[in-house]
Amino acid sequence: MKDNVNNTVKEEKGLSRRELLGGTTKVAAVAGVAALAVSAGGVGTASKAVASSPSKNKSHIAPGDLDEYYGFWSGGQAGDIRIMGVPSMRELASIPVFNYCGATGWGQTNESKEILTEGLTPEGRELADANGGLYLNGDTHHPHPSFTDGTYDGRYVFINDKANSRVARIRCDVMRTDKIIQVPNVQAIHGLRVQKFPRTGYVFANGEFRIPSPNDGRDLEDVAKYQTMFSAIDGDTMEVAWQVIVSGNLDNNDTDYNGEYVVASCYNSENGVTLGEMMEAERDHVVVINVAAVEAAVKAGKFKTIGDSKVPVLDGTKENGEKYTRYIDIPNSPHGVNTAPDGRHIVVNGKLSPTVSVLAVAKFPELFAGKIKPRDCVVAEPELGLGPLHTAFDNKGNAYTTLFLDSQICKWNVDKALAAHRGEDVNPIIQKLDVQYQPGHNHTSMGETKDADGKWLVSLNKFSKDRYINVGPLKPENDQLIDISGSKMKIVHDGPTVSEPHDCTIVHRSKINPSHIWDRNDPWWETARQQAKADGVVLEEDSKIIRDGNKVRVYIVSIAPTFGLEEIKVKKGDEVTIYVTNMDDVEDLCHGLTLTNYGVAMEIQPNQTQSVTFKATRAGVYWYYCQWFCHALHMEMRGRFIVEG
């Protein structure tokens, strides 16, 4: 699929909701309801800048004002991505990814099924087929946008599925998932980061759980032969470029700003399989991967493949991987890995140690050249509090670390931590702020780029307890928005979230430019376009039924408030595919097609084509209707699906 992200629709091509009357007069006239056409459009006014809000609370966004940032939140066990407005903390949209979505038809439409299945491994396809061809769950953790030259470029957002070892790509022009792959040879993709320079480039994914390799029934009990891998995925083709076997269980990772190194935290250096075995050692490690060295080895053919996979695999274990990896001892069970915006330091968070370890990126070339010892890369190790998990950064040299056990955010200064490590009598800790409760990930506005702006921090807290009215034993999680623009951190907003959003990314809105309507040349419906061409149908113009034996293809053009066909007649047992093309080019004017009592529903956005295939199993009359409100005569936008026995 070609990169269509920057082919955004120019505003002058579409119509605003205010202009709807003029844009749909011809449609309303056909329907005989010209006088009612205005009812489909709400008033669309030009929005003021966020700075115009008169509220003293900086997080308040007044009616008509826009948020300054897009927030991309992982959906956790729900398997989606949520788009939040920051600083309002309003949920604006949910992007289906690894989940089934009854609202949009994701997981039911042919277009989404192709995306959900085309990248599965043979093993994954076999397991998915047992569930009707699809995985029925997903566990999204780490959403990260694509980069060019150290900052976000607005092309894609990538996210992992820990549950089924998958990685997905979301197009930022239409905010829809366009590629999903299952990573071979590993189980549980956890940590995920993208290459920051010169561009993305690679998407780096950690395989967390150690398994036999190949995992085909041999070596079930021989845990000495278990292993896991670090994977590099080509963000343009969404194919795994190479993998490196590592020692221990991979957790999180982050990259430098030169495109040369990746640092991944590892726990269970003991290679145990029970909790007791995993906790025997007092130290674990991080692994530093030399990207150029791995690429050179792959180019020279110095790799192996495993099982049915053709992916190049290199040995980067502690015993054998000196060309590709280096291991730096770290206090037990390190967790988060976060690169400072200046590109000079990477912070590894202790989890079971009260410390965070600060690594100097400039020392990595010396480390791989054998000129220094691994621990020489540690240039600071401040003690911050109990349970440090993740660190975020502002643009003033300060860091913000979540303390899970203390239920606090610790603000500290990186330069002062370096000075303290050199023996100077300075305290790097600036402030500790109570949060409610047990924070995991945190994120600052633009804080994972060279353009960190030091305005906002979000703390993603695992528990909410007494923060909201009781909704039963399963409580929401609690996200707290913190103003970090001044000398002191201030909590300004609590926001409940569900299904444990794991992580988020806060992107300035100037970096993202979504389309208002679809481009009719988009590759999204290329399969439908080719089938229509074979049937002599023009998707944008024709509404007709094509019978091919017991396969029936139905083409419908929809323009509010009408479907191009008000009757579809098939025979019991037919395989029916319905293609709907929404030719309304009015912003925000979606249509849908729901077939009653058949469990069929899908959404069709302005200028989009979507299709769904099902079997006509029951004779009778079944109505199909538009389920996305589109017009004053929305209730009348329907037709009969007649199944002859």
pLDDT, position 56: 60
H helices of 48-205, in order, are 110-118, 122-129
**6: pLDDT strictly greater than 80:** no
DSSP secondary structure string, 453-508?
---EEEEEES--GGGS---SSS--EEEEEEE-SSSS-EEEEEEEESS----EEEEE
Residues 18-27 have pLDDT tens digits of 344 344 333 3
Give ∠ CA 308-157-193 in degrees, rounded to 5: 65
User: What one-letter code names the amino acid at 577?
Assistant: T
Flag whether 35 is in a domain. no
Residue 8 near residue 513 (C-beta atoms within 8 A): yes
Q: Look at residues 477, 511, 545 and tell me which one is the last residue of a structural domain.
A: 511
Query: 3-17, 294-308, 414-428, 531-545: which range is least confident on average?
Result: 3-17
Average pLDDT, the chain: 90
For residue 534, the surrounding DSSP H or E stretch is helix 526-534
Q: What percent of the chain is modeled with pLDDT above 90? A: 82
Flag whether 34 is in a domain. no
Flag whether 313 is in a domain. yes
Query: 6-15, 113-122, 325-334, 540-549: which range is least confident on average?
Result: 6-15
pLDDT, position 216: 86
Flag whether 547 is in a domain. yes
Residues 392-445 have pLDDT tens digits of 999 999 999 999 999 999 999 999 999 999 999 999 999 999 999 999 999 999
Q: Are residues 368 and 398 in the same domain?
A: yes
**3: pLDDT strictly greater than 80:** no
pLDDT tier at 13 (50, 70, 90 boundaries)? very low
Q: Which residues constitute the domain of residue 430?
A: 69-511
The DSSP symbol for 114 reads H
pLDDT, position 51: 41
Cα separation, 614 vs 576, whole angstroms? 5
Q: Are residues 611 and 554 in the same domain?
A: yes
Query: 499-503, 584-588, 602-606, 637-641: which range is least confident on average?
Result: 499-503
Cα separation, 238 vs 138, whole angstroms? 19
Which pair of structure tokens corresponds to residue 188?
């549980």
Residue 613 near residue 607 (C-beta atoms within 8 A): no
User: Where do the DSSP E strands lie in 41-113?
Assistant: 69-74, 81-86, 90-95
Q: Are residues 505 and 540 in the same domain?
A: no
Q: Are residues 483 and 531 in the same domain?
A: no
**Which of 184, 195, 118 lies closest to 150 in space, CA to CA?**
195
**14: pLDDT strictly greater than 60:** no
Flag whether 299 is in a domain. yes
Flag whether 414 is in a domain. yes
Q: Look at residues 511, 538, 562 and tell me which one is the last residue of a structural domain.
A: 511
Query: 59-63, 205-209, 226-230, 264-268: which range is least confident on average?
Result: 59-63
**Which of 509, 342, 312 lies closest to 413 in space, CA to CA?**
342
Q: How many domains does the chain have?
A: 2
Cα separation, 309 vs 231, whole angstroms? 13
Angle subtended by helix axes 110-118 and 526-534, to nearest 10: 120
Q: Look at residues 511, 538, 559 and tell me which one is the last residue of a structural domain.
A: 511
Q: Are residues 463 and 566 in the same domain?
A: no
The burial of 56, by beta-carbon neighbours within 10 Å (0-12 exposed, 13-18 middle, 19 or more buried), is given as: exposed
Q: Are residues 408 and 437 in the same domain?
A: yes
Residue 91 near residue 67 (C-beta atoms within 8 A): no
Q: Are residues 253 and 148 in the same domain?
A: yes
The predicted model gives 450-475 an average pLDDT of 95
pLDDT, position 291: 97
Q: Are residues 535 and 500 in the same domain?
A: no
- Rounded to two decimals, the pTM is 0.91
pLDDT tier at 133 (50, 70, 90 boundaries)? confident
Pick from 4-8, 28-32, 540-544 the range whose average pLDDT is largest.
540-544
Q: How far apart are the first and last CA of the chain?
A: 41
Q: Are residues 352 and 439 in the same domain?
A: yes
Q: Are residues 108 and 207 in the same domain?
A: yes
Query: Which is higher by pLDDT, 1 or 153?
Result: 153
The predicted model gives 586-591 an average pLDDT of 94
pLDDT tier at 218 (50, 70, 90 boundaries)? confident
pLDDT tier at 269 (50, 70, 90 boundaries)? confident
Q: Are residues 341 and 284 in the same domain?
A: yes
Flag whether 423 is in a domain. yes
- CATH number of the structural domain spanning residue 636: 2.60.40.420
**219: pLDDT strictly greater than 50:** yes
Q: Are residues 417 and 338 in the same domain?
A: yes
Flag whether 152 is in a domain. yes
pLDDT, position 201: 94
- CATH number of the structural domain spanning residue 259: 2.130.10.10
